[in-house]
Structure 1
Amino acid sequence: MSSTALPPAVGAGVAGVLGIDIGGTKVALRIEPAAPAPAPAPVEATLRWQPAAPAARDVEDLAEHVAALLVRWAGPVEAVGVAMPGTVDAAGLVTTWPGRPSWTGLRFADTLRGLVPGATIAHADDGDVAALAEASAAGCPDVVYIGVGTGVGGGIVLAGRPCPGPGRGSAEVGHMVIAMDGPPCGCGRRGCVQAIASGPATLRRAARHRAATAVTAATAVTAVTAVTAADVERGGEGGVRGVDFVELRAGWVDGADWAVRAVRESAAAVAVAVVSLTELLHPALAVVGGGFADGLPGFTDAVAEHARGLARPGHPPAPVRAAVLGGLSSLAGATLLARQALRPAHVPAG
């Protein structure tokens, strides 16, 4: 467990909102003024989870960090917005979270209410709130967001609000099936966007492509087809050495065929998702983010190129742009979610 250095106490007498971005390895926290007026600067902290800790210990660590941040703010916190990558059912229970499996069965809603007693609480999928933040940053009320990282997440914002909305599930863009005979996904299906475009999937494919270029045409087929995804992840079994992100990025930037093929295949999968979402929702903008995508210069341009190629006459896909908030989009979205929960109190009706 570790936290960032916190600034001196600020915000005395100023109402604030707390944003919490919960991840599989760490949590980011930020308190900002609730009202959009000249006010103290935000206060922030970071909690790094202990490996394989039980849920009770995680909750204890989270509560300690929230309490410390509340002391630093020194003003009332009226609402809490939480970005959560796991699945939370309508009763407020965590039903699944591969990143922290010990949380399965945790009474998540009750836990949140205990962090800041009396505050209004709102939580949503981290992809949903990232979309909310990117829509706000772009000044665009109708946005689809696709985040490419260890997995593929996403979110939809329509008329300035997350869709389908808190308590009604999330926009599982990464589990849209785009290839019925595609590679297996961790969810049990085949051909999900995530199974093709995620960082690990791209690295596995890059390793196979690189192996094929390193041997003669006669041996390439044997070398490539004999390798499984597990072989590549183990880093070299089956005659193929794994590819890490640094190698992939270098190969992509240098124009190496194996890297370009792997990345462009992922970009094409994301483009299919963009075009499919455009057909359903007609958003004004499609935003591509996530750590993996952000780390590959030109990835978003490749997505846009593929999307334009999939357009049907008279129905162009939504313009595709790179995320502007980077790794902060989910945290920014969490604070926005908290503010939206307070709108009846802060925004006059009509």
Structure 2
Amino acid sequence: MGGTKVALRAEHTDGAVREAGFRWPPACGGPVHAAADLDLLTRQVRELCAVAPDELAGVGVAMPATLDAAGVVTAWPNRPGWTGLDLGGALREAFGDAEVVCADDGDLAALAEAHAADRPDLLYLGVGTGVGGGIVLGGRLLPGPSRGSCEIGHLIVDRSGDLCDCGRRGCVQSVASGPAVLRRAGRARGAEVTFPELAQALADGTSWAADAVREGCAALAAAAVGVGELLRPAAVVVGGGFAAALPGFTGTVAAETARLARPGFPTPPVEPARLGGLSSLHGAVLLAKGRSPRN
């Protein structure tokens, strides 16, 4: 589940695979809207699987929302109506007797990318409506499910920067997320910019588009280099729907990362996600199959 879109994947016992997706309706506050979201989700799952939800063997959910230890949503700026929702209970009600397991979308994306590359350690950066991420070190997620998720999108890269959805200034997300890049492009252009307009202008080499994207990539690079100084990951993987849809995005992050290298300490290679913009989805499938993150 993303802040804007939801991706679904069903893997059947006979080997058949089906995928689908949908966009959330405009976000509004209040529990009635969370209930409507859950109803929409249940109907989409039923249509994809061609079975009732309670006939599913297992469900894995990648979530960007912040959950407390009991599984209650404490914050989700993109869907404020979900705040206070007992997510685990709501999903169990929606999916009947199926085992439902939830985890952070950035963590699951990192897990899926490490699995796809058969690599024991990496840093994953996911750029979409927000900026998420995950760290796999020695085959284990850091800091580990029992200690919370890896919130790399909320590392501060500019103390006097723009206001982030979380309420403070200068987080990576406030600079590098899709909406942040579009807002910056709009300020430079002097008019609102849509994603297709940004993509076309970037392909045409238009300065306002290139500068807006480069600034976001520089913030991601600063975060990657900072994590690299602490943990020395073997690679940095860039994914997420926004990044995957802009040709050259990962290359720009790589160039900005290399620019921050210091003598004797080369920066890790920066690579595009092997699973494109669906890393979190594949991580959720791994979770549903019982390959849960290790503490």
User: Would the alpha carbon gap of residues 65 and 166 (structure 1) be closer, same or farther in structure 2, given more than 3 Å must change?
Assistant: farther
1:173 matched to which residue of 2? 152
**Aligned AA for 2:90?**
T
Cα distance in structure 1, aligned partners of 2:293 and 2:256 = 40
Q: After alignment, is 67-76 or 288-297 more displaced?
A: 67-76
Deviation at 1:54, TM superposition (A): 1.9
2:213 matched to which residue of 1? 263
Deviation at 1:272, TM superposition (A): 0.5
Equivalent of residue 132 in structure 1, options 107, 111, 114: 111
> For 2:145, what is the secondary structure of its paired residue?
coil
User: Would the alpha carbon gap of residues 329 and 64 (structure 1) be closer, same or farther in structure 2, given more than 3 Å must change?
Assistant: same
Cα distance in structure 1, aligned partners of 2:168 and 2:199 = 29
> For 1:283, what is the secondary structure of its paired residue?
coil
- Contact kept in structure 1, 2:162 and 2:175, CA below 8 Å: yes
- Contact kept in structure 2, 1:181 and 1:191, CA below 8 Å: yes
1:311 matched to which residue of 2? 261
Deviation at 1:70, TM superposition (A): 5.7
Equivalent of residue 103 in structure 1, options 82, 86, 100: 82
Equivalent of residue 184 in structure 2, options 205, 215, 220: 205
1:329 matched to which residue of 2? 279
> For 1:30, what is the secondary structure of its paired residue?
strand
1:145 matched to which residue of 2? 124
**Aligned AA for 1:314?**
G
> For 1:242, what is the secondary structure of its paired residue?
coil
- Contact kept in structure 2, 1:140 and 1:285, CA below 8 Å: no
User: Would the alpha carbon gap of residues 158 and 253 (structure 1) be closer, same or farther in structure 2, given more than 3 Å must change?
Assistant: same
1:41 matched to which residue of 2? 16
Identical-pair percentage: 56
Using structure 2 for the length normalisation, give the TM-score.
0.86
2:192 matched to which residue of 1? 242
2:137 matched to which residue of 1? 158
Cα distance in structure 1, aligned partners of 2:245 and 2:178 = 11
1:192 matched to which residue of 2? 171
Deviation at 1:166, TM superposition (A): 3.1
Deviation at 1:193, TM superposition (A): 0.7
* CA displacement 1:91-129 (0-9 Å, x = unmatched): 110111122211111111122333445544321111211
Using structure 1 for the length normalisation, give the TM-score.
0.74
1:277 matched to which residue of 2? 227
Unmatched 5+ stretches in structure 1: 1-21, 211-239, 345-350
- 1:94 equivalenced with 2:73 (yes/no): yes
- Contact kept in structure 2, 1:84 and 1:123, CA below 8 Å: yes
Cα distance in structure 1, aligned partners of 2:138 and 2:147 = 17
User: Would the alpha carbon gap of residues 192 and 241 (structure 1) be closer, same or farther in structure 2, given more than 3 Å must change?
Assistant: same
Q: After alignment, is 58-67 or 250-259 more displaced?
A: 58-67
**Aligned AA for 2:255?**
E
Cα distance in structure 2, aligned partners of 1:343 and 1:23 = 20
**Aligned AA for 2:273?**
A
> For 1:274, what is the secondary structure of its paired residue?
helix
User: Would the alpha carbon gap of residues 342 and 70 (structure 1) be closer, same or farther in structure 2, given more than 3 Å must change?
Assistant: farther
Cα distance in structure 1, aligned partners of 2:160 and 2:3 = 30
**Aligned AA for 1:192?**
C
Q: After alignment, is 188-197 or 51-60 more displaced?
A: 51-60
**Aligned AA for 2:185?**
A
Cα distance in structure 2, aligned partners of 1:343 and 1:326 = 21
- 1:28 equivalenced with 2:7 (yes/no): yes
Counterparts in 2 of 1:330-345, with a 5 A limit?
330-341=280-291
2:35 matched to which residue of 1? 56
Cα distance in structure 1, aligned partners of 2:276 and 2:59 = 22
* CA displacement 1:249-290 (0-9 Å, x = unmatched): 233222223222222121111111111111122111111112
User: Would the alpha carbon gap of residues 180 and 50 (structure 1) be closer, same or farther in structure 2, given more than 3 Å must change?
Assistant: closer
**Aligned AA for 1:202?**
V
1:348 matched to which residue of 2? none
Cα distance in structure 1, aligned partners of 2:17 and 2:135 = 27
- Contact kept in structure 2, 1:94 and 1:108, CA below 8 Å: yes
> For 1:80, what is the secondary structure of its paired residue?
strand
**Aligned AA for 1:329?**
S
Equivalent of residue 59 in structure 2, options 60, 66, 80: 80
1:11 matched to which residue of 2? none
Deviation at 1:43, TM superposition (A): 3.7
